[in-house]
């Protein structure tokens, strides 16, 4: 196989540069545009004028939220896919999003919670509860536990979405709030929301990075991993905990952004190969790039109003995935044809 | 997996079939008899025999009967479509959703609902009374999406066709579902609510006007699709063996897929996207009848049975509120899956 090492360092540097540019752009762009110099001076001298107020009050919380969510979802996606050994597994399969949705909706319908931080706690609580239920159902009993876990997730998702549906059918106010929450976005996120969820997110991130090596061994199969001395159930439980922490906080901050956890790992895998020790660090950069780009594009695409980041994410991520799948595939076909042609002409020569 | 039947517990398929038929008829009668407006069983019988009072006749013939017919037709076609998809794609989770059909049809229907209401018709007519328009929008959207996905994934390449189909389907589906969410957030609350009722999949307030055409078409399409079941039996042996036996594999796959997509389209045009029936009905019939391969006509029966039962629950669980039947099938399907998982563990 081709070595991906030079390519992965290229991807890393490009990614870091793009991310830095995006962060500065994110401070500048919005319904009131700020020049790069004003944005930077506003950033470094807080309280020095209107530009600095906008940067510190509006743009920084939002940028931080987008970065946090991007990191969390991309890392959770990679962990989920390597745990289940299924490239189509999404962190949402653990019931995190639908659990959060049920709690947000019933919070609005029963308790009248509509403010951002209240919704954040409801979402966090619901996500944790749903994921615990899925673990519990999936872990009881014998046999292939991961397959059962996925099935349990699908089943619980179906039940919980039905509950959300019934509540939103009969409560107009809940539906009205819900349809904006479910899209996922960063408009008017407060700094406190991001800061409250940071410890949980960091815990999940550290746990994920600790698990890189054992997860790599687990890719050989459960028996082989056990033979190599990996405590398989412990690693699986730890990975699930990490995914739940990451995905739950992301959903609590921004609502369910469903596509990030699928597309970022796929794109990175097409770029640098399947090694977890390369993928996981790169996803910490790749996730924020996608989410931040989506947020910035959403801010400028329909001035003076905004398009939510959750919608833009799908419209950036899906064509990217399509292009990579189709291009790499046809490039492969081209190569195969070329080899065939060469071997045929060699055959003629002899 | 499946326990080997002991001599004492042998169930003949014929007994199961007749049991299922009896259950279906009983459920249909219950649906006709019980409702918010009380009619005695004798009254319903008189109406069905051609007599009865005016109001009784109206309630039974124009309100409960079209709904029952719709539930039977939609359940049957979804069950069969699911069985065909699962057998052809060799995946127990296969369904028309994989090629983006359902999401695309939702986009089409949403556009029709929102544009119609924008044009002045009131929201309620657009969602229910003008069901033909919504249905056509749904079918157009569904077919356009499926065509797009098939076209994009049909380009020559090295990776297997199935793998690429799934990836392309997911990507296109994600874009469309984001677009659907976008449409919902930009509509008025009232518009969004009527669109949402359609999106959950509902048989509420159906009238003959919107039922008869799709129902007749489904009645024609189901036997037609069953005629091709011999192909499916051969295909189940594996593509190589089927080709060796003289079956044109590509053409057969394409015909069967088209049939399944058509059935799904018809059911969506009637009731909107109703989840889980296409997934559960084939699995359930495969287990109950213990068929060696995919259970086809059995899935028709089970699908109809499931949807009539779910629709009864939808209409009566929180009466006088009417739950969209799609939510009931989602909840029941999820509960069934959970039960299987827990019981096996």
Cβ-Cβ contacts under 8 Å for A12 (sequence gap 6 or more): A281, A282, A285
Q: Which of A117-121, A128-132, B203-207 has the highest mean pLDDT?
A: A128-132
pLDDT, averaged across chain A? 82
Which chain B residue has the Cα nearest residue A310? B178
Tell me, yes or no, whether B1 lies in a domain: no
How confident is the model at residue B344, as a pLDDT? 66
Q: Given an 8 Å threshold on Cβ–Cβ distance, is B185 in contact with A151? A: no
Structure confidence by residue, pLDDT tens digits, A261-294: 888 998 888 888 888 888 899 999 999 999 999 9
Q: Given an 8 Å threshold on Cβ–Cβ distance, is A179 in contact with B276? A: no
Q: Given an 8 Å threshold on Cβ–Cβ distance, is A329 in contact with B155? A: yes
What is the spatial distance between Cα B290 and Cα B2, in angstroms, rounded to a whole number?
Answer: 9
Structure confidence by residue, pLDDT tens digits, B225-280: 888 888 888 888 887 888 888 888 778 887 888 888 888 888 888 888 887 888 88
Question: According to the 3-state scheme, what is the secondary structure of B278-305?
Answer: HHHHHHHHHHHHCCCCCCCHHHHHHHHH
Q: Given an 8 Å threshold on Cβ–Cβ distance, is B189 in contact with A176? A: yes
Chain A 77-116, residues with CB within 8 Å of chain B CB atoms: 88
Tell me, yes or no, whether B58 lies in a domain: yes
What is the spatial distance between Cα A136 and Cα A159, in angstroms, rounded to a whole number?
Answer: 16
| pLDDT of A179 higher than 70 | yes
Cβ-Cβ contacts under 8 Å for A131 (sequence gap 6 or more): A94, A95, A96, A99, A240, A243, A244, A248
Best interface-test mutation with B: which of A89, A166, A176 has the largest number of B CBs within 10 A? Answer: A166
What's the gap between Cα A346 and its chain centre?
Answer: 49
Given CB atoms, is A152 within the 8 Å cutoff of chain B?
yes
A122-136, A250-264, B97-111, B149-163: segment of lowest average pLDDT: B149-163
What sign does the CA torsion over B16, B261, B211, B128 have? positive
User: Do B235 and B253 touch, CB atoms closer than 8 A?
Assistant: yes
Given CB atoms, is A136 within the 8 Å cutoff of chain B?
no
| pLDDT of A39 higher than 80 | no
Nearest chain A CA: its distance from B241 CA (Å): 27
| Chain A CB contacts of B336 below 8 Å | 155
Give DSSP secondary structure letters for B121-156: S-HHIIIIITHHHHHHHHHHHHHHHHHHHHHHHTS-
| ∠ Cα B338 B344 B345 (to 5°) | 90
pLDDT, greater one: A348 or B185: B185
Q: What is the pTM of this model?
A: 0.79
Q: Per the omega criterion (within 30 degrees of 0), is the bond before B320 cis?
A: yes
DSSP assignment, residue B92? Answer: T
Q: Given an 8 Å threshold on Cβ–Cβ distance, is A336 in contact with B158? A: yes
Q: What does the pLDDT average to over B43-57?
A: 78
pLDDT, greater one: B23 or A190: B23
Q: Given an 8 Å threshold on Cβ–Cβ distance, is B330 in contact with A137? A: no
Tell me, yes or no, whether B2 lies in a domain: no
Helix (H) or strand (E) holding A20: helix A5-28
CATH number at residue B34: 1.10.3470.10
Cβ-Cβ contacts under 8 Å for B227 (sequence gap 6 or more): none
In chain A, where the domains are located: 5-343
User: Do B297 and B226 touch, CB atoms closer than 8 A?
Assistant: yes
pLDDT confidence bin for B162, thresholds 50/70/90: low
Q: Which of A280-289, B47-56, B105-114 has the highest mean pLDDT?
A: A280-289
Phi (first) and psi of residue A255, to 5 degrees: 85, 175
Q: What does the pLDDT average to over B81-94?
A: 78
| pLDDT of B131 higher than 80 | no
Tell me, yes or no, whether B293 lies in a domain: yes
How confident is the model at residue A342, as a pLDDT? 66
Given CB atoms, is A175 within the 8 Å cutoff of chain B?
yes
Percent of chain A with pLDDT over 70: 90
Q: What does the pLDDT average to over A330-346?
A: 64
A192-196, B86-90, B239-243: segment of lowest average pLDDT: B86-90
Which chain A residue has the Cα nearest residue B190? A172
Structure confidence by residue, pLDDT tens digits, A211-254: 988 888 888 877 888 888 888 888 888 888 899 899 889 988 88
Quick one: which of A293, A313, A252, A259 has its CA closest to A96? A252
Nearest chain A CA: its distance from B182 CA (Å): 7
pLDDT confidence bin for A1, thresholds 50/70/90: very low
Nearest chain A CA: its distance from B296 CA (Å): 24
Cβ-Cβ contacts under 8 Å for B66 (sequence gap 6 or more): B206, B207, B208, B211
What is the spatial distance between Cα A127 and Cα A201, in angstroms, rounded to a whole number?
Answer: 14
Helix (H, G, I), strand (E, B) or coil at A262: helix
Which chain A residue has the Cα nearest residue B320? A170
Tell the residue number behind the tokens 């959403």, with chain if given: A298
Q: Given an 8 Å threshold on Cβ–Cβ distance, is A183 in contact with B182? A: yes
What is the complex's ipTM, to 2 decimals? Answer: 0.77
Q: Given an 8 Å threshold on Cβ–Cβ distance, is B174 in contact with A317? A: yes
| Chain B CB contacts of A255 below 8 Å | none
pLDDT, greater one: A74 or A340: A74
Expressed as residue numbers, the domain containing B332 is 7-344
Q: Given an 8 Å threshold on Cβ–Cβ distance, is B185 in contact with A175? A: no
Q: What does the pLDDT average to over B151-176?
A: 71
Total domains, chain B: 1
Structure confidence by residue, pLDDT tens digits, A52-83: 777 787 888 889 999 999 999 999 999 988 88
| pLDDT of B121 higher than 90 | no
| Chain B CB contacts of A259 below 8 Å | 174, 178
Q: What does the pLDDT average to over B314-324?
A: 80
A241-245, A276-280, A302-306, B121-125: segment of lowest average pLDDT: B121-125
Cβ-Cβ contacts under 8 Å for B186 (sequence gap 6 or more): none
- Token digits for B274? 């109703």
Burial of A270 (0-12, 13-18, 19+ CB in 10 A): middle
How confident is the model at residue A328, as a pLDDT? 67
Superfamily of domain A5-343: ABC transporter involved in vitamin B12 uptake, BtuC (1.10.3470.10)
What's the gap between Cα A320 and its chain centre?
Answer: 16
How confident is the model at residue B305, as a pLDDT? 93
How confident is the model at residue B303, as a pLDDT? 92
Q: Given an 8 Å threshold on Cβ–Cβ distance, is A322 in contact with B152? A: yes
Given CB atoms, is A326 within the 8 Å cutoff of chain B?
yes
How confident is the model at residue A347, as a pLDDT? 54
Number of other residues whose CB lies within 10 A of the CB of residue A330: 14
Nearest chain A CA: its distance from B52 CA (Å): 36
Query: What long-range pairs does A7-12 form, CB within 8 A, spacing at least 24?
Result: A7/A271, A7/A272, A8/A271, A8/A272, A8/A273, A8/A278, A8/A282, A11/A268, A11/A271, A11/A272, A11/A282, A12/A281, A12/A282, A12/A285
pLDDT confidence bin for B160, thresholds 50/70/90: low
| pLDDT of A314 higher than 50 | yes
What is the spatial distance between Cα A288 and Cα A310, in angstroms, rounded to a whole number?
Answer: 13
| pLDDT of B27 higher than 50 | yes
What is the spatial distance between Cα A292 and Cα A64, in angstroms, rounded to a whole number?
Answer: 9
């Amino acid at each position: 196989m081709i070595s991906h090492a030079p390519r992965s360092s290229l991807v890393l540097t490009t990614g870091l540069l793009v991310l830095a540019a995006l962060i500065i752009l994110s401070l500048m762009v919005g319904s009131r545009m700020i020049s790069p110099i004003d944005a930077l001076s506003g950033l470094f001298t807080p309280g020095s004028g209107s530009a600095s107020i906008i940067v510190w009050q509006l743009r920084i919380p939002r940028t931080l939220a987008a970065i946090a969510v991007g990191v969390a979802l991309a890392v959770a996606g990679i962990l989920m896919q390597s745990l289940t050994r299924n490239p189509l597994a999404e962190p949402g399969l653990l019931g995190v999003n639908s659990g959060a949705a049920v709690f947000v909706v019933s919070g609005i319908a029963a308790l009248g919670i509509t403010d951002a931080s209240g919704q954040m706690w409801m979402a966090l609580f619901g996500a944790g509860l749903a994921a615990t239920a899925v673990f519990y159902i999936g872990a009881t009993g014998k046999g292939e536990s991961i397959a059962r876990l996925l099935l349990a997730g699908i089943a619980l998702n179906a039940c919980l979405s039905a509950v959300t549906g019934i509540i939103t059918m009969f409560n107009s106010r809940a539906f009205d709030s819900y349809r904006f929450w479910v899209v996922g976005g960063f408009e008017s996120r407060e700094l406190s929301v991001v800061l409250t969820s940071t410890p949980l997110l960091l815990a999940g991130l550290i746990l994920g990075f600790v698990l890189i090596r054992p997860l790599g061994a687990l890719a050989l199969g459960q028996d082989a991993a056990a033979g190599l001395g990996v405590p398989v159930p412990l690693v699986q439980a730890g990975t699930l905990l990490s995914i739940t922490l990451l995905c739950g906080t992301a959903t609590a901050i921004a609502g369910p952004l469903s596509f990030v956890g699928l597309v970022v790992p796929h794109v990175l895998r097409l770029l640098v190969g399947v090694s977890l020790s390369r993928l996981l660090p790169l996803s910490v950069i790749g996730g924020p790039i996608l989410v931040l780009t989506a947020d910035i594009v959403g801010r400028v695409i329909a001035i003076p109003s905004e398009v939510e980041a959750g919608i833009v994410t799908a419209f950036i991520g899906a064509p990217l995935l399509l292009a990579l799948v189709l291009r790499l595939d046809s490039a492969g076909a081209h190569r195969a044809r070329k080899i065939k042609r060469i071997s045929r002409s060699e055959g003629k020569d002899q | 997996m499946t326990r080997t039947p002991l001599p004492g517990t042998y169930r003949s398929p014929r007994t199961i079939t007749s049991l299922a038929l009896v259950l279906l008829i009983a459920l249909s009668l219950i649906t006709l008899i019980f409702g918010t407006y009380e009619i005695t069983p004798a009254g319903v019988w008189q109406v069905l025999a051609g007599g009865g009072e005016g109001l009784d006749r109206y309630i039974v013939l124009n309100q409960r009967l079209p709904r029952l017919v719709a539930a039977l037709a939609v359940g049957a076609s979804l069950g069969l479509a699911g069985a065909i998809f699962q057998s052809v794609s060799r995946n127990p989770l296969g369904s028309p959703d994989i090629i983006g059909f359902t999401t695309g049809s939702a986009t089409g229907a949403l556009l029709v609902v929102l544009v119609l209401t924008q044009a002045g018709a009131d929201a309620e007519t657009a969602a229910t009374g003008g069901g033909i328009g919504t249905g056509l929008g749904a079918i157009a959207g569904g077919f356009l999406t499926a065509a797009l996905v098939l076209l994009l994934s049909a380009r020559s390449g090295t990776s297997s066709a199935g793998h690429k189909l799934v990836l392309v389907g997911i990507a296109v589906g994600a874009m469309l579902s984001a677009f659907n969410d976008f449409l919902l957030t930009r509509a008025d609350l009232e518009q969004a609510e009527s669109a949402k009722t359609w999106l959950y999949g509902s048989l509420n307030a159906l009238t003959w006007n919107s039922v008869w055409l799709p129902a007749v078409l489904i009645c024609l399409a189901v036997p037609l699709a069953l005629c091709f079941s011999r192909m499916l039996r051969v295909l189940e042996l594996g593509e190589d063996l089927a080709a060796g036996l003289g079956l044109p594999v590509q053409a057969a796959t394409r015909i069967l897929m088209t049939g399944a997509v058509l059935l799904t389209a018809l059911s969506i045009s009637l009731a909107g996207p109703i989840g889980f029936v296409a997934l559960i009905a084939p699995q359930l019939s495969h287990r109950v009848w213990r068929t060696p391969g995919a259970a086809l006509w059995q899935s028709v029966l089970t699908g109809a049975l499931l949807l009539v039962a779910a629709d009864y629950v939808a209409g009566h669980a929180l009466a006088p509120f009417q739950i969209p039947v799609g939510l009931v099938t989602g909840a029941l399907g999820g509960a069934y899956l959970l039960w299987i998982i827990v019981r096996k563990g």
